[in-house]
Chain A
Amino acid sequence: MRLYEFILRRLFLMIFVLFAISVITFILTRGILPPASAVSGYLHLGLSDTGKLDIAQGVGVATRSCPSWSAFIDNHAGCVVPLYQQYFYWLGDVLRGDWGWSNLPNDFGVYPTLAAFSDRFPYTVQLAVFSAILTLVIGFSLGIISATRANKLPDHLSRLTAIIGYSIPAFWFGLLLQLLVVYYLTFNGFSLFPVSGALGTQCAICIANPGTIHAYTTIPVLDSLLSGNLAYLWDTIVAMVLPAITLSITTVAFLSRILRSSMVEALSQDYITLARSKGLRERVVVYRHALRNAILPAITVSGLIFSSFLGGVIVVELIFNYPGIGSVARDATVALDVNFLELYVLVSAFIIVSANLIVDILYAFLDPRIRY
């Protein structure tokens, strides 16, 4: 099978995966939650169609089936529709691009679900990319150093680091970092790195008034670049340092161990013996011959790590007061905001499925033996 056929097939399958996930989420939220919030979710949804701000009406009092959709929306008739019918109403709206209204607390009273999502998601994207780069660079270096000096001091040190990284809970490590920075790395009343927020204006190395940027992409890092505001860019990056370190400590440990074991395995293969017998420099043997083969499992892991970062990391966002999507998802759960949760779960699923697809495509390029 050709690669494009494979991609087409996987994209085709993705539709079914997303459909199944939307059904499951729908049942879990609206089917299990008390009718009040379930219907309230609908009323929000209905608002975009009817423009009425009539939320309190009829909550939880519906006892008979509705003669029509508008009757349900208006809910004056005091009726409910069966769950499967609700799902199709919801699906119809979503396919038209209408994700309904969110009942998250906010400054504007009413808040479209899509806006609740897209206000925060760009921050998650930039933190995820930054943390992923940190993980890849450190994880790969540690893995290679460990494998080429297997069972020697550097390997033992890296193993120790990995065990520590695995075992430290992120919430504790994050707080520890904050303490460290605030108590020991504080100069003239300013800590070295900002310990809170997405734009560092309160730290030793920050630029106090970075100015403003134009929202081209809504992702601050890109927008500050596009706006040519390097001060803003610097502050944005500086603010991500501590959350990214906290996020990466576990994933670096994981990635470096995976890479070490696949490198050790690759280095014991026959083709390495042949490469050495050819008189190649050790550097060529390690990077050209071994790493090319050992990288595949590490890529799978990297894909998983990146997609988990993109889903937002609630604990880290809360500790550093970082405005990512994870903490919104938490608020939405508390507020029983079913519309937002449905959107959040679907986007997360989409990210995970896409990450897997990208990993598989990368495999095909890196390993010529793989044909889909």
Chain B
Amino acid sequence: MAQEETTLIQVRELYKWFPIKVGLLGRKSIYVKAVDGVSLEIKKSETLGIVGESGSGKTTLGLTLMRLVNSTKGSIIFGGIDITKMKGRDLKRLRRRMQMVFQDPYASLDPRQTVRSALVEVMKIHGSIKDSKLASDKAAELVNIVGLNPDHLARFPHELSGGQRQRVAIARSLVLSPEFLLLDEPTSSLDVSVQAQILNLLQRLQTELDLTYVLISHNLAVVRHICHRTAVMYLGRIVEIGDTSQLFENPKHPYTFALLSSVPIPDPEVSQRLDVIEGDVPSPINLPSGCRFRLRCPYATDRCAAEAPLLREIEPGHSIECHYDLDLNSRPAATGAPAEGKVGAGPVGSA
């Protein structure tokens, strides 16, 4: 198989642990295991969705992929090269090939910079276009691509609407003609009617510019709509990954099933049992033994406590991290009273 050609990014056993100092003299360290052994493959020209609740580690995984956060262990192969130890000029060159779009365009754009200077600045920093006339032309071309008109070039972020700001942020990420875009909750600060515009724009850009996307989101509907493949994260690990249609129509991991059942469907005539699982995501500091989902899992057995499951393929292109092949559509009753330990469980920091 010509997999070498189709794989853009290969992540192997990636870890990111954040230490917290404790103890009398701050010597003993405990860790927040934000990313705890993730392996995945991002194919060229696809959109991979990473979904999870807060504390699942999806944002940390994204930042580690972008080398905005250094990994603790593991490798990220981007276009055949391990980028985890890349430094200096190599790293700067790498940045041209991978760009990021953030959740809040108002926070990620400089309020004192016009749209034009925000775009031209990127070209200057990376020296891609030195002539200012050419740079200005390129900026005009980019705003056109993202569906704005040249009038917008002279505006400041506060003079734009939320949707327009996000378009500018997308245009900025495209300045260096990257191959790969990391989209971190790109529509969650936008209104529904505007969200649809941005999602459509992203889909159009992908085909026109042959881009590869990783979309990080807690919004399952958005992921289903835009992603080719989807990975579900829970407490730092991927518990299920597969083609979007497979995963949404036939989830095999009890967590994925619970997550999907929890989304309120905007149709009053679809009857839906909402509370399929109890409790909140536990803290990523004190992880349970064995399978990390077992405390909330209605199917948990002794084996789940004793032995951590590993990601295994159950059908081509569809893997789960669960010991069992469960028939999830025979819906279980919600679990009984939550365990004593859950009461004191602290809040979980956002991912």
Within B1-56, the residues touching A (CB, 8 Å) are: 22-25
> Is the contact region of chain B dominated by helix, strand, or loop, or is it mixed?
loop
Question: Inside 8 A of B22's CB, which chain A residues have their CB?
Answer: 1
Minimum CB distance partner of A2 in chain B = B24
**Cβ distance B324 to chain A, nearest Cβ, rounded Å:** 40
Task: Tell me if A153 counts as interface (CB < 8 A to partner B).
Answer: no
Measured CA separation A8–B23 after assembly (Å)? 12
A5 within 8 Å of B (CB atoms): yes
In angstroms, Cα B30 to Cα A1, docked, is: 13
**Total chain A interface residues with beta-carbon distance under 8 A:** 4
CB distance from A238 to the nearest CB of B (A): 49
Contact residues in A for B23 (Cβ distance below 8 Å) = 1
A14 to chain B, nearest CB (A): 14
Chain A window 1-38, contacts with chain B (Cβ cutoff 8 Å), 1 for yes, 0 for no:
10001001100000000000000000000000000000
Query: How many angstroms between the C-alpha atoms of A9 and B25 in the bound complex?
Result: 7
In the complex, chain A residues whose CB is within 8 Å of the CB of B25? 9
CA gap between A8 and B24 in the complex, in Å: 8
Q: Which residues of B contact A1 (CB under 8 A)?
A: 22-24
CA–CA, A1 and B22, complex, Å: 7
Closest to A1 in B: B22
Smallest CB–CB gap between B243 and chain A, Å? 43
Residue of A at shortest CB range from B22?
A1
Residues in B with CB closer than 8 Å to A9 are 24-25
Q: State how many angstroms separate the Cβ of A360 from the closest Cβ of chain B.
A: 16
Given the complex of chains A and B, what is the CA–CA distance between A38 and B24 in angstroms? Answer: 41
Provide the bound-state CA to CA distance between A363 and B129, in Å.
56
Closest to B25 in A: A9
B262-280 residues at the A interface, CB under 8 angstroms = none
Which residues, 41 to 68 on A, are CB-close (under 8 Å) to B?
none
A9 CA to B22 CA, complexed, in Å: 12
Q: Which B-chain residue is minimally distant from A9 (CB atoms)?
A: B24
A8: chain B residues at CB < 8 Å are: 24
Distance, CA A210 to CA B25, complexed state (A): 54
Of chain A, the residue at the smallest CB distance from B23 is A1
Query: Once the chains are docked, how many angstroms separate the CA of A1 from the CA of B24?
Result: 7
Bound Cα distance A9, B23 (Å) = 10
User: What residues of A have a CB within 8 angstroms of the CB of B24 in the complex?
Assistant: 1, 5, 8-9
Smallest CB separation, A184 vs chain B (Å): 58
Q: Report the separation of the CA atoms of residues A18 and B22 in the bound assembly, to the nearest whole angstrom.
A: 25
A68 to B25, CA, bound (A): 41
With A and B bound together, what is the CA distance between A5 and B25 in angstroms? 9
Most chain A CB within 10 A, of B22, B23, B24, is at B24
Instruction: Encode contact with B along A74-99: 1 for CB under 8 Å, 0 otherwise.
Output: 00000000000000000000000000
Q: How far is the CB of B27 from chain A (nearest CB, A)?
A: 11
The CA of A9 and the CA of B24, in the complex, are separated in Å by: 6
Give the distance in Å from the alpha carbon of A5 to the alpha carbon of B24 in the complex: 6
**Identity of the chain B residue whose Cβ is nearest the Cβ of A5 in the assembled complex:** B24
Bitwise interface map of B from 48 to 77 toward A, beta carbon under 8 Å scored 1, else 0: 000000000000000000000000000000
Q: Nearest B residue to A6 by beta-carbon distance?
A: B24
A31 to chain B, nearest CB (A): 32
Instruction: Give Cα A267 to B80, complex, Å.
Output: 56
Measured in the bound complex, the distance between the Cα atoms of B22 and A131 in whole Å is 40
Minimum Cβ distance to chain A for residue B25 (Å): 7
Nearest CB in chain A to that of B21: its residue: A1
Cα distance A217–B167 in the bound complex, in angstroms: 75
> Bound state CA distance, A9 and B21, in angstroms?
14
Contacts from B to A (Cβ < 8 Å) = 22-25
A–B complex contacts, Cβ < 8 Å, 7 sampled: A1-B22, A1-B23, A1-B24, A5-B24, A8-B24, A9-B24, A9-B25
Which 4 pairs across A and B sit closest by C-beta, in order of nearness? A5-B24, A9-B24, A1-B22, A9-B25
